[in-house]
């Protein structure tokens, strides 16, 4: 999967210059035709968005998503409360702008020139390419003219505009359906399940979907990389746009935007079809017996994260043994196990209890300057290669003018710990830094697969239960006595 690394310095410089140029001429409190003034007077920033693992979602521990966190920070920047309205379709999002039910759309939408006649686009915050997908195992189309079967895309999406341009250009016979009932994610799922031959999605969304639907395969890129932006109503007043420019400029300058992108997009990289299928099969066959133990001993992290750490270590094999002598589900060394009170490393419960305790101790040692939601990645790097080597990576990051408290900066230095010109300058010397890098990245990918797979399974179970309940009401059971009555 292809994704451009965001050029934060260039975008930040452009945003700052534009903001400085616009800011002096903009009255923040002018009149009710000023969109920013309305937001400030109301004390609320109202956004419309789409439910997805990338843009906006809710869990028992609260809301999350890249667009949600960005919007939350923008509201704080403005000094107002954030109000979120999730919608089912892109058309509904733009209806909210037309009817003044939302101040802006924050939903990971691709920049689309057709929308600019009625709406404005905010600054770009990452880039994607549009890709055509098909089901793994079926014939891969090499180009647009090789499509044989239905092609469906979400109504109101940028994909419709792209297909129109292709049809008006070199592909006059191109045909497709615009679905108003199914979202892009749902259409991609239909392709993975063999219910729809083709659809189009963006490279990041497809990469996330492949973690739970490995049958989803990319045939080819339809476009080059394109920016993803927010949208808001078009008007003569530039106050809201100027505020966005200044906000994003600050986010780039202090590294917040890079850290958010790392949090939500950092694990969307290379995709291994066989490995993902093997992992999903293990969720069904092996995880149920171990789940109670992960839930019991995962005190400081979610049990699903502890479970995928164990999978990365041993593939959930309690008898796993490495050539270096580490053993068990959590692959503990003899010395580490003794220090944790683990008498039998091959006992699943003892191993999970010891591994969880060891991870807790490492997290407690991570410097307090590291943000809470990033401490686990530093601790996992230490779990894999040793705490001292993790400190070396932090010191190397600082020496190279990076932020030693930012995982996105530190992880880039991990592979350097195996290069003499760098490890010669460190306190603890040579380390298999590339392995530690891969270790953490694999865990993050497995976590995305496990969380998404379990959520989808729960959703299907709820839908099935609802259908059965509806059927029971429509066709109530008849007792044998009632059946015998004339």
Residue 117 lies inside a defined structural domain of this protein: no
Q: Cα 483 from chain centroid? A: 55
333 contact partners, CB below 8 Å, separation of at least 6: 325, 326
Mean pLDDT of all residues in 289-293: 98
Question: Is the distance from CB of 211 to CB of 446 less than 8 angstroms?
Answer: no
Domain termination site, one of 365, 399, 421: 365
Are 346 and 398 members of one domain?
Answer: no
Are 377 and 469 members of one domain?
Answer: yes
Residue 320 lies inside a defined structural domain of this protein: yes
Task: Please report, rounded to a whole number, the percentage of residues in the chain having pLDDT higher than 70.
Answer: 91
Q: Is the pLDDT of residue 232 over 50?
A: yes
Q: Which of 226, 262, 313, 374 is catalytic?
A: 313
Q: Which domain holds residue 320?
A: 292-365
With cut-offs at 50, 70 and 90, classify the pLDDT of residue 204: very high
Residue 460 lies inside a defined structural domain of this protein: yes
Residue 287 lies inside a defined structural domain of this protein: no
Per the structure block, which two tokens stand in for 29? 């409190």
Position 284 scores a pLDDT of 97
Are 332 and 380 members of one domain?
Answer: no
224 is catalytic: no
How many beta carbons lie within 10 A of that of residue 448, not counting itself? 20
Q: Cα 140 from chain centroid? A: 27
Are 403 and 349 members of one domain?
Answer: no
Position 468 scores a pLDDT of 79
Are 343 and 439 members of one domain?
Answer: no
Position 13 scores a pLDDT of 53
Question: Is the distance from CB of 410 to CB of 258 less than 8 angstroms?
Answer: no
Per the structure block, which two tokens stand in for 320? 């796993």
Per the structure block, which two tokens stand in for 93? 């999002």
**HEC per residue, the chain:** CCCCCCCHHHHHHHHHHHHHHHHHHCCCCCCCCCHHHHHHHHCEEEEEEECECCCEEEECCEEECHHHHHHHHHHHHHCCEEEEEEECCHHHHHHHHHCCCCCEEEEEEECCHHHHHCEEECCCCEEECEEEEEEECECCCCCHHHCCCCEEEECCCHHHHHHHHHHHCCCCCCCCEEECCCCHHHHHHHHHCCCCCEEEEEHHHHHHHCCCCCCEEEEEECCCCEEEEEEEECCCCCHHHHHHHHHHHHHHHCCHHHHHHHHHHCCCCCCCHHHHHHHHHHHHHCHHHHHHHHHHHCCCCCHHHHHHHHHHHHCCCCCCECCCCCECCCCECHHHHHHHCCCCCCCHHHHHHHHHHHHHHHHHHCCCCCCHHHHHHHHHHHHHHCHHHHHHHHHHHHHCCCCCCCHHHHHHHHHHHHCHHHHCCCCCCCCCHHHHHHHHHHHHHHHHHHHHHHHHHHHHHHHHHHHHHHHHHHCCCCCHHHHHCC
What total number of domains does the chain contain?
Answer: 3
Question: Is the distance from CB of 244 to CB of 122 less than 8 angstroms?
Answer: yes
Q: Is the pLDDT of residue 15 over 70?
A: no
Are 392 and 337 members of one domain?
Answer: no
Are 355 and 386 members of one domain?
Answer: no
Taking only the tens place, the pLDDT of each residue in 244-266 is 999 999 999 999 999 999 999 98
Position 481 scores a pLDDT of 58
Taking only the tens place, the pLDDT of each residue in 327-367 is 999 999 999 999 999 999 999 999 999 999 999 999 999 99
Burial class of residue 357, CB neighbours in 10 A (0-12, 13-18, 19+): middle
| Residues facing 186 on adjacent strands | none
Q: Is the pLDDT of residue 29 over 50?
A: no
Q: What are phi and psi of 136, to 5 degrees?
A: -55, 130
429 contact partners, CB below 8 Å, separation of at least 6: 423
Are 359 and 379 members of one domain?
Answer: no
Q: Cα(372)–Cα(446) distance, rounded to whole angstroms?
A: 21
Residue 248 lies inside a defined structural domain of this protein: no
Are 141 and 216 members of one domain?
Answer: yes
Q: Is the pLDDT of residue 237 over 60?
A: yes
Domain termination site, one of 211, 227, 243: 227
Taking only the tens place, the pLDDT of each residue in 86-114 is 999 999 999 999 999 999 999 999 999 99
Are 354 and 412 members of one domain?
Answer: no
With cut-offs at 50, 70 and 90, classify the pLDDT of residue 236: low
With cut-offs at 50, 70 and 90, classify the pLDDT of residue 7: low
Taking only the tens place, the pLDDT of each residue in 431-469 is 999 999 999 999 999 999 999 999 999 888 888 888 778
- The lowest-confidence range among 17-26, 283-292, 420-429, 472-481 is 17-26
Q: Is the pLDDT of residue 4 over 50?
A: no
Are 220 and 129 members of one domain?
Answer: yes
Taking only the tens place, the pLDDT of each residue in 268-285 is 877 899 999 999 999 999
CA dihedral 346, 349, 350, 355 (to 10 degrees): 100
Mean pLDDT of all residues in 292-306: 96
What is the model's pTM? 0.86
Are 406 and 336 members of one domain?
Answer: no
Domain termination site, one of 202, 227, 252: 227
Task: Please report, rounded to a whole number, the percentage of residues in the chain having pLDDT higher than 90.
Answer: 83
Position 333 scores a pLDDT of 94
Residue 175 lies inside a defined structural domain of this protein: yes
Mean model confidence pLDDT for the chain: 91
Question: Is the distance from CB of 201 to CB of 52 less than 8 angstroms?
Answer: no
Question: Is the distance from CB of 346 to CB of 319 less than 8 angstroms?
Answer: yes
- Give me the CATH number covering residue 154: 3.40.190.10
Question: Is the distance from CB of 233 to CB of 154 less than 8 angstroms?
Answer: no
Mean pLDDT of all residues in 181-195: 96
Mean pLDDT of all residues in 371-378: 95
Mean pLDDT of all residues in 409-426: 96
Taking only the tens place, the pLDDT of each residue in 53-76 is 899 999 888 899 999 999 999 999
Q: Which residue is associated with the tokens 């920033």?
A: 45
Position 459 scores a pLDDT of 86
- Give me the CATH number covering residue 307: 1.10.530.10
Residue 21 lies inside a defined structural domain of this protein: no
Q: What are phi and psi of 226, to 5 degrees?
A: -130, 150
Q: Cα(34)–Cα(239) distance, rounded to whole angstroms?
A: 7
Position 25 scores a pLDDT of 43
Residue 343 lies inside a defined structural domain of this protein: yes
Q: Is the pLDDT of residue 28 over 60?
A: no
Position 24 scores a pLDDT of 45
């Amino acid at each position: 999967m292809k994704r451009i690394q965001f050029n934060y310095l260039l975008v930040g410089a452009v945003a700052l210059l534009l903001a400085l140029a616009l800011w002096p001429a903009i009255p923040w409190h002018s009149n009710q035709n000023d969109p920013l003034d309305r937001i400030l007077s109301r004390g609320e920033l109202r956004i419309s968005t789409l439910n997805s693992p990338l843009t906006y979602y809710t869990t028992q521990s609260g809301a999350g998503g890249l667009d949600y966190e960005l919007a939350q920070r923008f509201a704080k920047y403005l000094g107002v409360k954030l109000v979120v309205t999730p919608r089912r379709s892109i058309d509904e999002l733009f209806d909210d702008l037309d009817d003044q039910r939302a101040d802006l759309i924050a939903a990971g939408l691709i920049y689309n020139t057709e929308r600019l006649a009625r709406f404005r686009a905010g600054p770009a915050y990452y880039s994607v390419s549009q890709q055509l997908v098909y089901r793994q195992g079926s014939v891969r189309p090499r180009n647009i003219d090789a499509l044989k079967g239905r092609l469906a895309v979400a109504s109101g999406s940028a994909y419709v505009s792209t297909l129109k341009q292709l049809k008006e250009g070199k592909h006059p016979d191109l045909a497709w359906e615009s679905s108003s009932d199914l979202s892009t994610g749902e259409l991609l799922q239909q392709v993975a399940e063999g219910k729809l031959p083709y659809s189009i999605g963006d490279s990041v969304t497809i990469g996330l979907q492949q973690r739970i639907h490995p049958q989803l395969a990319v045939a080819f890129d339809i476009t080059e990389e394109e920016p993803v932006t927010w949208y808001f109503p078009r008007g003569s007043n530039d106050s809201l746009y100027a505020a966005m420019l200044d906000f994003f400029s600050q986010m780039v300058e202090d590294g917040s935007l890079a850290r958010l992108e790392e949090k939500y997009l950092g694990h969307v990289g290379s995709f291994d079809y066989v490995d993902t299928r093997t992992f999903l099969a293990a969720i069904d066959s092996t995880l149920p017996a171990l789940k109670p133990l992960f839930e019991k001993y995962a005190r400081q992290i979610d049990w699903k994260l502890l479970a995928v750490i164990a999978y990365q270590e041993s593939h959930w094999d309690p008898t796993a043994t490495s050539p270096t002598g580490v053993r068990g589900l959590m692959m503990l060394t003899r010395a580490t196990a003794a220090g944790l009170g683990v008498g039998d490393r091959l006992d699943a419960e003892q191993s999970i209890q010891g591994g969880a305790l060891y991870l807790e101790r490492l997290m407690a040692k991570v410097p307090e300057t590291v943000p809470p939601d990033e401490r686990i990645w530093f601790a996992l790097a230490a779990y894999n290669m040793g705490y001292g080597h993790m400190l070396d990576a932090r010191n190397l990051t600082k020496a190279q003018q990076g932020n030693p408290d930012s995982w996105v900066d530190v992880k880039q230095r991990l592979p350097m710990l195996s290069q003499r010109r760098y490890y010669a300058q460190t306190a603890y010397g040579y380390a298999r830094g590339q392995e530690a890098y891969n270790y953490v990245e694999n865990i993050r990918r497995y976590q995305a697969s496990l969380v998404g797979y379990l959520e989808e399974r729960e959703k299907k179970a709820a839908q099935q239960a609802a259908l059965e309940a509806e059927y029971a009401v429509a066709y109530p059971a008849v007792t044998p006595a009632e059946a015998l009555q004339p």
